C-alpha cells in the first residue's frame, strides 16, 4: 500500500507544471507561488499540530525558517521559469536539485561521496544538460526562447536544495507533515513579500482558472505531501525514493497528450539519464534516512 501512496503523490505532482502554465496568463507568478505554498501548508497544518508536542528547540525552528525560505525561492523561480520553457523540459531540468542536495550533503553534513553516488550525480547532471541543450547549436543556445526558462529552472533547483537539506534535518525530529507544514507556511509568507508588489490578476479570470489555482494548492501540493508522508511511513527510503523518479516521466507523457509538447530524442535521452542518476543516488543513500523529494 505504501507504493500506492507514493505513486499517487507523484501523479498529483506531475500535473503541477501544466496547471501553472494554465493559470500564468491570469495570475501573477509571485501570487501563484505564495498561494500554492499557503494552501498546501494550511492543508497539512492539522496533521502537524497533532504530531507536534512543542515548538521545538531553537535550532529546529531555525531549520524550518531556512527550509521555508528555500522552498519559497524554489516555487517562485519554478513558476517564473514556466513562462519560458516547456512543462516536460522544466520538470526534467529541475531534478538538478538532487545533484545540488548531494553537493550540500557532502559540504555541509560531511556525508561520504561513494562511487555509486558520484556516478548517479554525474549521470543526472549530464541528463539535465542534454535536455537544456536540446540539440541546438551553441551559438543559438543563448538566444533560444527556452534558455531563460531553463536557467531560471536551474536556480529553482539550487534553491530547493537548501529546503531539502533543512527538511532532511527536520525530518529526524518531526517526520512527515509535522515538519513540512511549518516550512510551507513560512515559504508562503516569504513569497508573499514580492507578491505584494504585483497584482493578483494579470488577466480576466474564469471560474475554471480559480478552480485550477485551488487544485494546484490543495490537491497537487498539500494532498500530495500527505500521501507521500503515508507512503514513506510504509516503505524503505530507497524504495520510496526510486518511485518518485517517475515524476518527470509522468509529466512528459501528460504534456505530450494534454498540451501537445513534442517528445524530442534529446528530451527522452536526458530524462532517462536523470531518472537513472537519481535511482543510483537513492540506492547509494540506503540507510541514511528518508529521501527528500520535490513537491
Task: Quick: pLDDT tens for 175-189.
Answer: 666 778 889 999 999
Domain-located, residue 216 = yes
Domain count, the chain: 1
Residue 154 CA to residue 160 CA, distance in Å, equals 10
Which residues neighbour 159 within 8 Å (Cβ) at sequence distance 6 or greater?
70, 71, 73, 74, 77
Domain-located, residue 230 = yes
What's the pLDDT at 176? 65
What's the pLDDT at 263? 85
Domain-located, residue 291 = no
Number of Cβ within a 10 Å radius of residue 69: 20
Q: Please give the model's pTM, rounded to 2 decimal places.
A: 0.88
Domain-located, residue 144 = yes
Domain-located, residue 8 = yes
What's the pLDDT at 213? 97
Structural domain boundaries, residue 48: 2-284
What's the pLDDT at 24? 95
What's the pLDDT at 244? 78
**Are 178 and 118 within 8 A, CB to CB?**
no
Domain-located, residue 100 = yes
Domain-located, residue 220 = yes
Backbone angles phi, psi at 97, to 5 degrees: -55, -35
Q: 68: helix, coil or strand?
A: helix
Residue 291 CA to residue 10 CA, distance in Å, equals 14
Q: 158: helix, coil or strand?
A: helix
Domain-located, residue 289 = no
Residue 212 CA to residue 220 CA, distance in Å, equals 10
Kindly give the parts of the chain with pLDDT less than 50.
none
Provide the grid cell at 29.
Answer: 507568478
Amino acid at each position: 500500500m505504501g507504493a500506492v501512496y507514493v505513486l499517487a503523490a507523484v501523479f498529483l505532482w506531475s500535473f503541477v507544471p501544466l496547471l501553472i502554465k494554465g493559470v500564468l496568463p491570469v495570475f501573477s507568478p509571485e501570487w501563484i507561488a505564495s498561494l500554492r505554498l499557503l494552501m498546501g501548508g494550511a492543508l497539512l497544518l492539522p496533521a502537524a499540530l497533532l504530531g507536534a508536542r512543542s515548538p521545538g528547540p531553537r535550532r529546529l525552528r531555525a531549520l524550518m525558517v531556512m527550509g521555508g525560505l528555500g522552498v519559497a525561492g524554489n516555487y517562485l523561480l519554478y513558476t517564473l521559469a514556466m513562462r519560458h520553457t516547456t512543462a516536460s523540459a522544466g520538470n526534467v531540468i529541475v531534478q538538478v536539485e538532487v545533484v545540488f542536495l548531494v553537493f550540500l550533503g557532502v559540504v555541509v553534513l560531511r556525508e561520504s561521496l561513494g562511487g555509486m553516488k558520484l556516478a548517479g550525480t554525474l549521470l543526472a547532471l549530464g541528463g539535465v544538460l542534454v535536455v537544456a541543450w536540446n540539440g541546438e547549436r551553441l551559438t543559438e543556445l543563448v538566444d533560444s526562447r527556452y534558455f531563460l526558462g531553463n536557467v531560471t529552472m536551474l536556480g529553482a533547483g539550487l534553491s530547493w536544495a537548501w529546503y531539502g537539506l533543512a527538511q532532511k534535518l527536520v525530518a529526524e525530529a518531526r517526520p512527515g507533515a509535522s515538519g513540512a507544514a511549518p516550512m510551507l507556511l513560512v515559504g508562503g509568507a516569504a513569497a508573499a513579500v514580492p507578491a505584494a508588489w504585483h497584482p493578483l490578476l494579470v488577466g480576466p479570470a474564469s471560474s475554471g482558472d480559480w478552480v485550477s489555482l485551488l487544485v494546484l494548492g490543495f490537491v497537487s501540493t498539500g494532498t500530495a505531501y500527505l500521501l507521500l508522508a503515508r507512503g514513506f511511513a510504509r516503505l524503505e527510503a530507497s524504495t520510496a525514493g526510486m518511485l518518485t523518479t517517475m515524476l518527470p516521466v509522468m509529466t512528459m507523457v501528460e504534456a505530450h497528450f494534454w498540451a501537445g509538447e513534442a517528445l524530442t530524442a534529446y528530451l527522452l535521452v536526458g530524462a532517462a539519464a536523470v531518472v537513472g542518476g537519481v535511482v543510483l543516488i537513492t540506492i547509494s543513500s540506503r540507510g541514511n534516512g528518508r529521501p527528500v523529494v520535490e513537491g
